[in-house]
């Protein structure tokens, strides 16, 4: 992959002092972009910018309250004053809030989360787009870090979900506004990702998040960061208005119980009485053993529904004398 097209581009990354924002800032800096790191934390944000520069990159830190449109405008102005241009804005700063039914939220909590997660993103897009036009950027981009909560509602997350649905909606509408003018607008929708947003969550909670994901693990912030790099590059100029999940298939649909008929495809295990019936019946030698003890088994359409099971598990339903069953299982173990 050739990311030379991003070299020299000046981009703002909000919430750059930690988590996904920090990862994006570091990846941008590592690929030759000029990075304006913005966050509330002076010490952590400055440290990120300093480390990018120490590795040969170009970055500055500007302390910013991203819930304030005035502060966002000042951030954009400061970025242009320093780098003379602006090519992109990654609106990543946001807060989580939830775990309770809607009626238990307070009105001040509504204001707090919408000020940062919604109004802050709007301001980043508004002042970012204006400045990208004004500084005549070629290949301008706006990237909003939303959430899978912006694609699928989550219980106990009414306000957070509302803000993220709003971010996805603004992203898509703005993409229509700017597609003709060469500015791409996309949203990244992370799933369970290992960041400080989980705070001191107990190990059991972290295990739940991993097990709830079809991929069986939580994401790494860099997996979002490299998508943000791709979206900033010339390779993604025809991608706009997209809300892209980075979630290990969590938002793809509801998980259900399923079983593999051919797990040996990934386990590499040899055939035995512990193998699935499907795997044994696909083996000429295995099918011969089964036909020897269970004539007509392969032609029984009803039985085929149980091909994901093993003969050992199916044994009580086969009606074979115990000694005969043991002989069949023994022969299957010798495959």
In whole angstroms, what is the distance from residue 30 CA to residue 44 CA?
18
Catalytic residue chosen out of the listed positions 28, 83, 127, 160 = 160
The CB density around residue 221, as the number of other CB atoms within 10 Å, is 20
Estimate the share of the chain in helix, then strand, then coil, as percent rounded to the nearest 5. 50, 10, 35
160 Cβ contact partners less than 8 Å away, ≥ 6 residues apart: 96, 97, 98, 113, 117, 147, 149, 154
Phi then psi dihedrals of residue 219, to 5 deg? -80, 165
In whole angstroms, what is the distance from residue 11 CA to residue 128 CA?
10
In whole angstroms, what is the distance from residue 206 CA to residue 211 CA?
9
**Is residue 181 among the annotated active site residues?**
no
19 Cβ contact partners less than 8 Å away, ≥ 6 residues apart: 193, 195, 196, 197, 221
Give the active site residues: 160
């Amino acid at each position: 992959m050739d990311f030379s097209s991003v070299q020299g581009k000046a981009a703002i990354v909000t919430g750059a002092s930690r988590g996904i924002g920090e990862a994006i800032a570091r990846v941008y800096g590592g690929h030759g972009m000029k990075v304006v790191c913005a966050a509330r934390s002076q010490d952590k944000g400055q440290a990120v910018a300093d480390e990018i520069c120490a590795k040969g990159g170009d970055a500055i830190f500007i302390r910013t309250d991203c819930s304030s449109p005035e502060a966002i405008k000042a951030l954009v102005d400061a970025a242009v004053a320093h780098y003379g241009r602006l090519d992109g804005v990654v609106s990543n700063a946001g807060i989580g809030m939830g775990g309770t039914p809607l009626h238990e939220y307070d009105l001040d909590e509504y204001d707090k989360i919408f000020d940062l997660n919604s109004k802050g993103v709007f301001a980043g897009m508004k002042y970012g787009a204006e400045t990208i036009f004004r500084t005549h950027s070629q290949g301008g981009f706006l990237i909003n870090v939303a959430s899978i909560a912006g694609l699928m509602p989550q219980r106990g997350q009414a306000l957070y979900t509302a803000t993220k649905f709003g971010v996805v909606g603004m992203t898509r509408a703005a993409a229509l506004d700017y597609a003709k003018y060469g500015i791409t607008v996309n949203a990244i929708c992370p799933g369970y990702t290992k960041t400080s947003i989980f705070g001191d969550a107990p190990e059991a909670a972290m295990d739940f998040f991993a097990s709830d994901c079809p991929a069986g693990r939580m994401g790494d912030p860099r997996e979002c960061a490299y998508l943000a790099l791709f979206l900033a590059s010339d390779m993604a100029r025809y991608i706009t208005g997209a809300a892209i999940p980075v979630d290990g298939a969590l938002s793809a649909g509801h998980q259900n119980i399923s079983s593999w008929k051919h797990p040996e495809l990934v386990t590499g295990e040899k055939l035995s009485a512990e193998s699935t019936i499907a795997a044994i019946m696909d083996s000429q030698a295995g099918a011969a053993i089964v036909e020897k003890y269970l004539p007509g088994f392969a032609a029984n359409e009803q039985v085929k529904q149980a091909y994901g099971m093993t003969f050992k598990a199916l044994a009580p339903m086969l009606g074979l004398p115990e000694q005969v069953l043991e002989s069949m299982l023994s022969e299957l173990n010798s495959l």
